């Protein structure tokens, strides 16, 4: 993809577009303020909007409106639930077919050697209360107990394809780690205002089994206003805490969604081989692994989430061959490592309107053949490493971002693919270690950026030799419009906002989105 230089209006001359691009409800309270606390989501959104408005940034339109899912719930006939005890190895075999063999030995080792086995919901629809009632007078009576709306499972619960398990408002399902309990579904699970939590083993270690919720194969999940607490480990991706995994021979016929829910001390949420998954409006506190992980999945929407002080390697990770992934209006603050990574050939990834602040490492890393990546309207502030560090990359478009006070380069680009088009347009750089740094890249368009307060260095790496040209072009408060082609540099016409937006549309089409 090649984006031709187009003369015309500056990227700053269309401020009304910004007001249309951001939800009106987020524009309240944009007066200057001190830096918000890590858990002040509203404060961070207001700070992002204030910074973008003060700069006069012009955001391109979002990739798409909220997608939702209009295919309806995977409802079953209103029939009495059929519940039976059976060997957990049947579930483990199905799990291996859907998600691979990783973690199988550890899960099997956590199961008691004696007892009735797992609780299988084989058919029909059941609430937790109805599931409990169906186990009375059976071998399962002792492994699912109840105290009001509090239920404790000391064996795995397996929802078979075609069955539905409903967790109602106020329900609390505790999965006992000491007995190897987990919730596995190949059917449909619906949660509204419910809690699933792990009851840790008496002598907890990092190697101990931790309960999890896995929605695999034909399974689907619709969760809202719910809580996931203490779940998951790194024994396998599907055991991360909550996993949504399709991609098997028998895949789900509709997408899954988790919205307006809270994850507390949970390893993370994993989306594996899925199509159309939605993670919207959730809060992740102290994620022990990657808070949101996307692997080999298409049409994934990650929107309006808050991730506070994650302990894992990344807050969000997107691995290819994932395609058409949107991370929009998320707040990521105070992580122990890097914030977000896009890798392994992921393509058509849109990072739009996010806040990424106060991570020990870099804000965004893109590598391993990432193609068609856009950063637009993000506030990237106070991170220990680069604002964006991208290497071994295809097309990258960076526009209308606020990039401030990062310990590395505001943007670092290296080892671009021969056909890659790199565009850095209409961004504000302030007080980063350097503004834009490059190494071994092809074509780069650098236009209409504000580096007036970018100290100590505007350009670094291979671009440093062109600093005199850059300084010449910004005399008198002008914005430089430069085109770099390997070691050559020249003056270019500014790119219009429409041209920048069209460049992303074009590369998405080439990526097959």
Q: What is the DSSP letter of 135?
A: H
Residue 480 has pLDDT above 50, yes or no: yes
pLDDT tens profile 373-401: 999 999 999 999 999 999 999 999 999 99
The predicted-structure confidence for 239-295, as pLDDT tens digits, reads as follows 999 999 986 566 778 899 999 999 999 999 999 999 999 999 999 999 999 999 999
Beta-bridged to residue 185, according to DSSP, are 159, 215
pTM of the shown model: 0.90
Question: pLDDT band at 73, cuts 50/70/90?
Answer: very low
7, pLDDT greater than 60: no
Domains of the chain, first to last = 1-59+346-513 (no CATH), 82-275 (2.160.20.10)
- pLDDT tens sequence across 199-235: 976 666 667 799 999 999 999 999 999 999 999 999 9
pLDDT attached to residue 114: 86
| Mean pLDDT, residues 69-80 | 51
Structure tokens at 140: 């399962």
The pLDDT value recorded for residue 9 is: 41
pLDDT single digits (tens) 228-254? 999 999 999 999 999 999 865 667 788
Mean pLDDT of the region 101-108: 88
DSSP sequence for 385-430: S-SEEEEEES-EEEES-EEES-SSEEEEEEEE-TT-EEEEES-EEE
Please give the pLDDT value at position 248.
56
pLDDT in tens, 295-318: 999 999 999 999 999 999 999 999
Spell out the residues 6+ positions from residue 346 whose beta carbon is closer than 8 angstroms to its own.
318, 319, 320, 321, 322, 323, 325, 370, 371
Query: By C-alpha distance, which of 371, 315, 426 is closest to 52?
Result: 426
Residue 30's CB: how many other CB atoms inside 10 A? 17
Annotate 10-24 with DSSP letters as a single string: -TTS-HHHHHHHS-G
Report whether 44 contacts 36 (CB < 8 A): yes
511 within 8 A of 347, measured Cβ to Cβ = yes
Which has the closest alpha carbon to 106: 194, 237, 236? 236
What's the pLDDT score for residue 2?
A: 37
Alpha helices in 122-232 (DSSP H): 128-135
Place of tokens 């007078």: 137
Q: What is the mean pLDDT of residues 42-67?
A: 83
Average pLDDT over the chain reads 88
Q: Does residue 25 carry a pLDDT above 70?
A: no
């Amino acid at each position: 993809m090649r984006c031709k230089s187009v003369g015309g209006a500056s990227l700053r001359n269309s401020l009304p577009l910004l007001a249309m691009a951001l939800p009106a409800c987020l524009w309240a309270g944009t007066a200057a303020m001190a830096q918000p606390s890590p858990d002040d989501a509203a404060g961070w959104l207001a700070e992002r909007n204030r910074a973008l408005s003060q700069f006069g940034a012009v955001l391109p339109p979002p990739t798409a409106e909220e997608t939702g899912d209009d295919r309806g719930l995977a409802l079953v006939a209103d029939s009495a639930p059929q519940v039976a005890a059976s060997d957990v190895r049947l579930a483990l075999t199905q799990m291996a077919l859907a998600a691979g063999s990783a973690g199988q030995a550890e899960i099997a080792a956590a199961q008691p050697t004696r007892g009735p086995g797992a609780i299988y919901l084989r058919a029909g629809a059941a609430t937790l209360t109805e599931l409990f009632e169906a186990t009375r007078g059976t071998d399962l009576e002792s492994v699912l107990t109840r105290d009001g709306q509090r239920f404790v499972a000391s064996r795995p619960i397996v929802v078979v394809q075609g069955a539905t398990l409903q967790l109602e408002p106020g329900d609390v399902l505790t999965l006992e780690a000491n007995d190897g309990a987990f919730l596995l579904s190949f059917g449909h699970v619906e949660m509204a205002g419910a809690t699933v939590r792990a009851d840790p083993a008496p002598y907890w270690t990092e190697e101990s089994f931790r309960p999890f919720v896995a929605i695999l194969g034909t399974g689907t999940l619709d969760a809202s206003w719910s809580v996931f607490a203490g779940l998951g480990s790194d024994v396998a991706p599907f055991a991360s805490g909550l996993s949504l995994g399709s991609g098997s021979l028998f895949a789900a016929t509709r997408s899954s969604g988790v919205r307006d829910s809270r994850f507390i001390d949970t390893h993370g949420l994993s989306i594996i081989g899925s199509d159309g998954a939605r993670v919207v409006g959730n809060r992740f506190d102290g994620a022990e692994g990657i808070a949101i992980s996307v692997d080999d999945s298409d049409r994934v929407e990650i929107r309006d989430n808050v991730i506070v002080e994650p302990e894992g390697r990344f807050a969000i990770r997107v691995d290819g061959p994932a395609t058409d992934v949107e991370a929009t209006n998320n707040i990521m603050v105070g992580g122990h490592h890097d914030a977000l990574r896009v890798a392994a050939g992921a393509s058509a990834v849109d990072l739009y309107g996010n806040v990424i602040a106060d991570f020990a490492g870099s804000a965004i890393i893109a590598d391993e053949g990432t193609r068609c990546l856009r950063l637009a309207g993000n506030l990237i502030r106070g991170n220990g490493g680069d604002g964006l560090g991208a290497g071994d990359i295809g097309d990258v478009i960076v526009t209308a971002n606020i990039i401030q006070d990062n310990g590395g380069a505001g943007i670092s680009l290296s080892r671009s693919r021969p056909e890659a088009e790199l565009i850095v347009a209409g961004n504000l750089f302030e007080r980063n270690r350097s503004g834009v740094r490059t190494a071994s890249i092809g074509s780069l368009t650098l236009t209409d950026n504000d580096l007036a307060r970018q100290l100590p260095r505007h350009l670094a790496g291979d671009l440093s030799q062109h600093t005199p040209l850059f300084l010449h072009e910004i005399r008198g408060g002008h914005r430089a419009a430069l085109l770099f082609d390997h070691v050559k540099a020249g003056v270019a016409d500014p790119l219009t906002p429409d041209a920048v937006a069209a460049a992303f549309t074009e590369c998405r089409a080439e990526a097959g989105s």
